[in-house]
Amino acid sequence: MSADRNVKKRRKPALGDIYEIETTSGLGYFQYVGTSKRYCELIRVFPGTYSQRPSSFEETLSRGEAFMTFYPLPRALSEELVTWVHHEALPERFRVFPMMRWGTGTPPSGGARKWRLFDGEDFGALQEMTPELAKMSVAGTSGHASLKNKIETGYTPESEV
């Protein structure tokens, strides 16, 4: 069996795996970085799209992520919605689950939405939005259509404050 056929048969995600997702604006890429007991697989999504698969992911990785989100990766793989393309060791900062934010609904009386910090297991106290908090990814699950839309529109956490 060729190495290319082994890649296509690979279905169990490993930390550091990079996947390709087809969007209407081109090919998007993300890396599997962890799993939360409360959600599912956490991925970091790289900014932009490509007309063809890069021969090297060095530049893509060096740009950092546009955002992180929880995504049902095993299901997407079994339904062949994404394709495994590469494996790269995770940056040191992912050895600890990354801090994210989780928002409450807008209060009925109006006013600003409140946020809690999420460390992969527990939620912190409510707090007001700050510039630092606005840069943190939102702790939520993206379905396949939602993930594609976020990639196509250039979504960033700052757009959700």
Q: Which residue has the higher pLDDT, 120 or 32?
A: 32
Q: What is the pTM of this model?
A: 0.87
Least confident residue range of 14-18, 19-23, 34-38, 109-113: 109-113
pLDDT at position 9 over 90: no
pLDDT at position 7 over 60: no
Return the pLDDT at 1. 35
Using CA atoms, how far apart are residues 79 and 32, in angstroms rounded to an integer? 17
Read out DSSP for the chain?
Answer: --HHHHHHH--S--TTEEEEEEETTEEEEEEEEEE-SSSSEEEEEPSS-BSS--S-SHHHHHT--SEEEEE-HHHHHHTTSSEEEEE-PPPGGGGSPPPEEEEPPPPTT-SPPPEEEE-SS-B---B---HHHHTSPB--B--HHHHHHHHHHT--GGG--
Percent of the chain with pLDDT over 90: 62
In the chain, domain spans: 3-96+140-159
Using CA atoms, how far apart are residues 71 and 16, in angstroms rounded to an integer? 15
Phi, psi angles (nearest 5°) of residue 63: -80, -10
pLDDT tens digit sequence for 79-135 = 999 999 999 999 998 988 899 999 877 767 766 778 989 988 888 888 888 899 999
Q: What is the mean pLDDT of residues 67-83?
A: 95
Residue 153, amino acid = T
pLDDT confidence of 12, banded at 50, 70, 90? confident
Sign of CA dihedral 67, 40, 13, 15: positive
Q: What is the mean pLDDT of residues 48-59?
A: 94
